[in-house]
Amino acid sequence: MLKGRATASGTGAYASRFAGLPGNFRAMIGLSVSSIGIGTYLGEPDEETDREYEAALAAAVGGGINLIDTAINYRFQRSERTIGRVLAAMAARGEIRREEIVVATKGGYITFDGEVPPNPRAWFDEHFIRTGIASPDDLVEGSHCMTPKWLAAMLEMSRANLGLETIDIYYLHNPETQLNGVSRPEFLDRIRAAFEMLEGAAADGKIGVYGTATWNGYRVPATERAWLSLDELWRVAYEVGGEKHHFRAIQLPYNLAMPEAVTLANQPVQKQRGTTLAVASAMEMGVCASASLLQGRLARGLPPILREAFAEFTSDAQRSIQFVRSTPGINVALVGMKSVAHVTDVLATASHPPATQEQLMKLFQPAR
């Protein structure tokens, strides 16, 4: 197991090795993180994809990306295990130090072990129900659980898979899923229990900070069932963890086709309403944008207006990522990559400084 965690001095030293990437590194939760992070969600749960991700992760970490995003259920734990192998090998070869790299993972969804078992139901009963880790009542939609017992078990599995003593950012994965099964007061009770467990994990050095990685929660109107209030969650964290609580990061989809984080004022704070990005920034939370390429679709043909706005870039993937990484309030644009060619293409974006506010605003003005 690699000891330690990402630190201010370690991530700062990493950033100083990449002088050719202007504006790539930003301050987030007291660390220097790259404006682009590598995601590991998509792909088949097989060995060939493991090998592809191994090469892509090594190219990313070797090329100026020091934030890796995963989840225990991504490719049935194969993504976490692949990251663990890559980090251990790079550290053993002296190419990186643990302190330089920020690793984020998530717990909440049921996961199998590397592949779908022949009888998924029986497998789940044997591994999670009979062992007492979960009871059928804990599950929402038959697939989501965030009881302290479940999260504690998932955290231990993630630490083992990643080979890390401390996970830098641990997210509750799509916690809004629970709102499909329970009332909002019950949901907040469950959040409180989860945050208590995560504050304990931070005190034990098993995680650095924790957060909420969401799909709908922060980008739907407050009238929707799946809506999450940052202020409400922040208050729960404050109540369980005090002034120095560790609820410090959020993740939500943000890209050229899903701009709600910056266009929808759905977060009430003290009788006012702000956008998720404005409120998260005011709380000094780390913000990672997921699906920066709309799961690859934005890399396959942007309208001319967007090509013109980012004329200095050579691919639509680069233009789409430039939009995300330049948006005020976004710390990291997460891009899923299992191809080394994509890593090279995406890293070329970071050789440009982020777009100015003026350049970005042109995108929101009607064409003449």
By beta-carbon proximity to ligand NAP, the closer residue of 97 and 168 is: 168
Compose the 92-131 pattern: x for residues touching ligand NAP by CB under 6 A, - for all others.
--------------x-------------------------
Q: Which stretch, 13-21, 109-117, 155-163, 284-292, contacts ligand NAP (CB under 6 A)?
A: 284-292
Of 187 and 313, the one with the shorter C-beta distance to ligand NAP is: 313
Residue the block writes with tokens 């916690």: 175
Nearer to ligand NAP (CB atom), residue 69 or residue 199: 69
Q: Which is nearer to ligand NAP, 228 or 346 (CB)?
A: 346
Q: Which of these segments, 230-238, 262-270, 342-350, 351-359, binds ligand NAP (CB under 6 A)?
A: 342-350
Considering beta carbons, is residue 54 or 125 the nearer one to ligand NAP?
A: 54
Q: Which of residues 55-74 bind ligand NAP (CB under 6 A)?
A: 69
Measuring CA to CA, which residue among 206, 208, 203, 199 is closest to residue 8?
208
Per-residue tokens: 128: 């999670």
- If the CB atoms of residues 197 and 213 are measured against ligand NAP, the closer one turns out to be 213
How far are the Cα atoms of 54, 190, 195, 208, 343 from residue 11, in angstroms, in the given order?
A: 22, 34, 27, 14, 20
Alpha-carbon distance 234 to 280, whole Å? 10
What the block records as the tokens of 181 is 């099964």
Query: CB-wise, 42 or 152, nearer to ligand NAP?
Result: 42
d(CA 21, CA 352): 7
Size of the site for ligand NAP (CB under 6 A): 31
Q: Alpha-carbon distance 134 to 150, whole Å?
A: 6
**Distance from C-alpha of 237 to C-alpha of 221, rounded to nearest angstrom:** 23
Q: Which residue is associated with the tokens 């939609």?
A: 141
Residue nearer to ligand NAP on the CB measure, 78 or 338: 338
Taking CB under 6 A as the criterion, the residue among 57, 334, 350, 355 binding ligand NAP is 334
- At CA 41, angle to CA 147 and CA 184, rounded to 5? 35
Q: Considering only residues 85, 190, 206, 338, which one is a binding residue for ligand NAP as defined by CB under 6 A? A: 338
Say which amino acid occupies 285.
M
CB 221, CB 264: distance < 8 Å = yes
Per-residue mark of binding to ligand NAP, 290-309 (x: CB under 6 A)? xxxxxxx--x----------
Q: Is 345 in the site for ligand NAP (CB under 6 A)?
A: yes
Closest contact distance (angstroms) between CB of 350 and ligand NAP is: 12
Integer distance in angstroms from the first to the last C-alpha of the chain? 58
Look up residue 110 and give its two tokens.
């049921």
Angle at 146 between CA 142 and CA 151, to 5 degrees: 120
- Dist. CA 119–CA 98, nearest whole Å: 39
Q: Is 35 in the site for ligand NAP (CB under 6 A)?
A: no
Q: Is 260 in the site for ligand NAP (CB under 6 A)?
A: no
147 near ligand NAP, judged by CB under 6 A: no
* CB-CB contact of 191 with 185 (8 Å): no
Q: Is 174 in the site for ligand NAP (CB under 6 A)?
A: yes
Using CB under 6 A as the binding rule, whether residue 313 contacts ligand NAP is answered as no
- What is the contact surface with ligand NAP in residues (CB under 6 A)? 39-42, 69, 106, 173-174, 213-215, 251, 290-296, 299, 315, 317, 334-339, 342, 345-346
